[in-house]
């Protein structure tokens, strides 16, 4: 769930300048036009990401200005990220999303858009989308049913209520985990739920301060030595809403 002010932070720091300078020019009046603009502006660089986003019409997930390359309110004090951020995160995770029979977790499923894109990137993958807000879970399910009910009916996509700080305990480990809200620190349960070689993409930082989108790759199962078990990479500065804890 991405807030537009994060774009200005990125500009000030000079990070990820291509996205910042080109993103606002990517808006269009159609889904295909939006994807074409993102591709033309060098934000979408992958055919796999391009096809998944082409097949997932944002108008099914955003009621107002679906093809504007900016965050949009979706209710419950939540937003859907700007299309360029979705394209960026899908690109970062592509190598693990496309593993045969990959297991994928989208935390803060919100409108359901990104979870559907992930499912369409890999026909053999199983994708779980969770959200702590029951109303958003129902909203996501309603949106997916408009055009992609087969994903739910086949079990390839599961959307349910859950605490993002805890992930989904008791499942096999995940090849890819995406978190759409900012945590003050890396949630330990999510690290433990990564499969060997898997990736976690998560914004980390305090609300109202500069946050960092972080990529974590699991290198070994030796969780006692963090530096050996995980490779951490800072990607860019952002500003997201907080990852809510279940009290």
Tens digits of per-residue pLDDT, 160-210? Answer: 999 999 999 888 899 999 999 989 999 999 999 999 999 999 999 988 788
244 assigned to some structural domain: no
Cβ–Cβ < 8 Å for 174, 97? no
Let me know if 4 is a catalytic residue.
Answer: no
Whole-angstrom CA distances from 153 to 55, 89, 127, 237 are 18, 26, 13, 38
The pTM for the full model equals 0.89
223 assigned to some structural domain: yes
Report how far residue 219's alpha carbon sits from residue 19's, in angstroms, rounded to the nearest whole number. Answer: 29
Contacts 24+ apart (CB under 8 A), 63-71: 66/31, 67/27, 67/28, 67/29, 67/30, 67/31, 67/33, 67/34, 68/27, 69/23, 69/24, 69/25, 69/26, 69/27, 69/34, 69/37, 69/38, 70/4, 70/24, 70/27, 71/1, 71/2, 71/3, 71/4
User: Domain range for residue 149?
Assistant: 5-238
- Provide the CATH number for the domain around residue 87: 3.40.50.150
246 assigned to some structural domain: no
243 assigned to some structural domain: no
Cβ–Cβ < 8 Å for 60, 143? yes
10-residue averages of pLDDT along the chain (247 residues): 36 40 70 95 94 97 92 90 94 98 97 98 98 97 97 98 93 94 92 96 89 95 86 90 78
247 assigned to some structural domain: no
Catalytic position from the list 26, 28, 81, 237: 81
Looking at the 3D structure of the chain, how many domains does it have? 1
């Amino acid at each position: 769930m991405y807030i537009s002010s994060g774009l200005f932070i990125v500009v000030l720091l000079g990070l990820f300048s291509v996205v910042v300078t080109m993103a606002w020019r990517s808006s269009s009046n159609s889904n295909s036009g939006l994807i074409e603009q993102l591709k033309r502006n060098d934000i979408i660089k992958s055919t796999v990401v391009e096809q998944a986003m082409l097949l997932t019409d944002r108008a099914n997930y955003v009621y107002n200005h679906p093809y504007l390359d900016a965050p949009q309110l979706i209710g419950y004090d939540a937003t859907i990220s700007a299309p360029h951020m979705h394209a960026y995160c899908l690109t970062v995770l592509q190598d693990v999303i496309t593993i045969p029979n990959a297991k994928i977790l989208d935390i803060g499923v919100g409108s359901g858009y990104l979870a559907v894109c992930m499912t369409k990137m890999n026909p053999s993958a199983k994708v779980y989308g969770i959200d702590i807000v029951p109303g958003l879970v129902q909203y996501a399910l309603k949106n997916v049913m408009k055009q992609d009910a087969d994903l739910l009916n086949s079990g390839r996509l599961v959307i349910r209520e859950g605490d993002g700080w805890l992930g989904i305990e008791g499942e096999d480990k995940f090849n890819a985990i995406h978190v759409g809200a900012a945590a003050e620190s890396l949630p330990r349960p999510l690290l433990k739920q990564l499969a060997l070689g898997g990736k976690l993409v998560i914004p980390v930082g305090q609300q109202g301060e500069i946050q960092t989108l972080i990529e974590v790759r699991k290198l070994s199962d030796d969780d006692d030595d963090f530096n050996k078990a995980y490779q951490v990479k800072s990607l860019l500065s952002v500003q997201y809403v907080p990852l809510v804890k279940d009290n």
